[in-house]
Amino acid sequence: MEWIERLNKAINYIEEHITEEIDTEEAAKVACCSTYHFQRMFAYMADVSLSEYIRRRRMSLAAAELQDPDAKVIDIALKYGYSSPTAFNRAFQGVHGVAPSAVREQGVSLRAFPPISFKITVKGSEEMNYRIEKKEAFRIVGISAKLHKEIEQNFEVVPQLWQRAVTEGIIPQLAGMMDGEPKGVLGVSVTNDNENWRYFISVASSQEAGEQFEEYVVPSFTWAIFSGSGTNTAIQELERRIVTEWLPTSGYEYDNGPDVEVYINPDPMNAVFEVWIPVRKA
C-alpha cells in the first residue's frame, strides 16, 4: 500500500509543477525508486508514457484557460513551456484535434485528461511463477547501446541492437564465451541513476572481452525472478504483469539496480526466459 501511496505522491509532485519543466528524477525520488523504474512503472500502470501523460495534462489545462475571452494563445503557450507558437499548436492539435485558436468556436469538441490516481486492483486470474534469490555480483561480456533518459525513445534502440546481434553473428560468439551464471543470453538494462544508461546483449563470462566486446559487473542484489515462455511479446506482457499485479502487493519494491532478461532459449517465436528485477523489502 505504501508503494501505491508514494506513486500517487509523485503524481501530486507533477501536478504541482505542471507549468514548469518536470524534474523526472525528483518525481522518481518521491516515489522512492530510480528514474528508469518510475517511468516504466508509470507506463505499465497508466497505459501511457510519462511524457505523453504530462503533455495531455498540460494541453487539457491549456484548453480550459483558452476559453477565457481575454486569454492569448502565446501567453498560454509560454505558461506551459512552449516558446514556439508552432510547437504549442502542434502539441495542442495532437491532443484535441483542433487548433488553439478554434477553442472558443461554438460546438468545438475538446478532450479533458484529469490527474491520474493509482489504486490496487485485485486480479490474479492467471498464476505467476517466481522466486526470491540473493545473488552475488557477476560479470557480463557483450555489446551495448546507450539508452535515453525518456524510456519510450528506447523502443527503437533495443530492437536495433538485437538486430545487429543477429545479423553480425554475435549471439553464437557470445554463447561460446558463456561460463558463468545465469546461463543464457542476457538482456541487461543498466539504469542506475548514478551511471550512464546502457542496454547490454551479453552472457555471464570470465573470459576476456577483447576489442569486439564490452564488460560490466552486475552488482549483488536480491532478485525477484519470474519465468515464462512464448513469443517475443510474451516477455513484455510478463514485465507488465510484474509491475501491475505482483509488485503492488508483494511486500517488495524496486531496488536501484539493473533489470536482467535471461533468454534460456532465445528463439523469438518459442522463447524460454526469466525476468530478474532487483528488489528490497518495502
**Per-residue pLDDT tens for 69-102?**
899 999 999 999 998 889 999 999 999 999 998 9
Cell numbers 541487461 correspond to what residue?
188
Neighbouring residues of 219: CB distance < 8 A, sequence distance ≥ 6: 137, 257
Tens of pLDDT along 33-75?
A: 889 999 998 998 888 999 999 999 999 999 999 999 899 999 9
Instruction: Dump pLDDT digits (tens) for 25-34.
Output: 999 999 988 8
Name the 3-class secondary structure at 274: strand
Q: Hey, which residues does 145 pair with through a beta bridge?
A: 199
Q: Over the stretch 109-149, which tens digit does the pLDDT of each residue have?
A: 999 999 998 876 655 567 888 999 999 999 999 999 999 98
As a whole number of Å, the end-to-end CA separation of the chain is 10
Instruction: Count the helix, strand and coil residues of the chain and give each as a percent rounded to the nearest 5.
Output: 40, 25, 35
Backbone phi and psi for residue 34, each to the nearest 5 degrees, phi listed first: -70, 160
Q: What are the pLDDT digits (tens) for 159-181?
A: 999 999 999 999 999 999 999 99
Instruction: List C-alpha distances in Å: 195 to 3, 25, 37, 192, 257.
Output: 24, 13, 14, 5, 10
